[in-house]
Amino acid sequence: MALIDFKCKECGNEFFEIVNSDEKVVCPKCKSDNVERVYKGKFYGKGNCSGGCSTCSGCH
């Protein structure tokens, strides 16, 4: 289980959930399942991590 930050694509609500890898996440505000994971933190002074490690050069 992990504590993960999410943002709802429907209403813009930012929230966190403790989830298993196969668990469906829904927004607690509007109940939409159209949510995306939010990656926070700074890496080597390049700004916030976008989570796209295969295409991002911010961590390397």
Per residue in 3-28, pLDDT tens? 999 999 999 999 999 998 788 999 99
Q: What integer is the mean pLDDT of 42-49?
A: 50
Locate the DSSP E strands across the chain. 2-8, 14-19, 35-37
Q: What is the structure's pLDDT at 12? A: 97
Whose structure tokens read 């700004």? 47
pTM attached to this predicted model: 0.64
pLDDT of residue 48: 55
Q: Would the pLDDT of 60 be above 50?
A: no
Domains of the chain: 1-60 (2.20.28)
